[in-house]
Amino acid sequence: MVVVLEKNITDKQFENIVKHLEDFGFAVHKSTGVEQVVLGAIGVKPDFDIRKVKILDGVAEVYKITEPFKLASRSFRKENTEIKIKDVVVGGNEVVVMAGPCAVESEEQIFTIAEIVSKTGAKILRGGAFKPRTSPYSFQGLGEEGLKMLRKAGDKFNLLVITEVMESNQIPLIEEYTDIFQIGARNMQNFGLLRDLGKTSKPIMLKRGLAATVEDWLMSAEYILSNGNKEVMLCERGIRTFETYTRNTFDLSAIPVVHKRSHLPVVADPSHATGLRDKVLPMARAAIAAGADALMVEVHHDPEKALSDGPQSLLPDQFEELMKQVKLIAEVIGRRIN
| CA–CA separation, 264 and 35 (whole Å) | 18
Of all helices (H) and strands (E), which one includes residue 297? strand 294-298
CA distances from 70 to 20, 22, 60, 256 (A): 19, 17, 20, 19
Contacts of residue 171, defined as CB under 8 A and 6 or more positions apart, other chains included, come to 165, 181, 196, 197, 200
What pLDDT is stored for residue 47 in this prediction?
Answer: 82
| CA–CA separation, 69 and 222 (whole Å) | 6
Domains of the chain (ranges, CATH numbers): 2-63 (3.30.70.1140), 83-332 (3.20.20.70)
What pLDDT is stored for residue 13 in this prediction?
Answer: 93
Local confidence band at 44 (pLDDT 50, 70, 90 cut-offs): confident
- Residue pLDDT, tens place only, 48-84: 899 999 999 999 999 888 888 999 999 899 999 999 9
- Residue pLDDT, tens place only, 247-302: 999 999 999 999 999 999 999 999 999 999 999 999 999 999 999 999 999 999 99
- Residue pLDDT, tens place only, 18-32: 999 999 999 999 988
| CA–CA separation, 156 and 67 (whole Å) | 44
- Residue pLDDT, tens place only, 184-201: 999 999 999 999 999 999
| CA–CA separation, 300 and 137 (whole Å) | 22
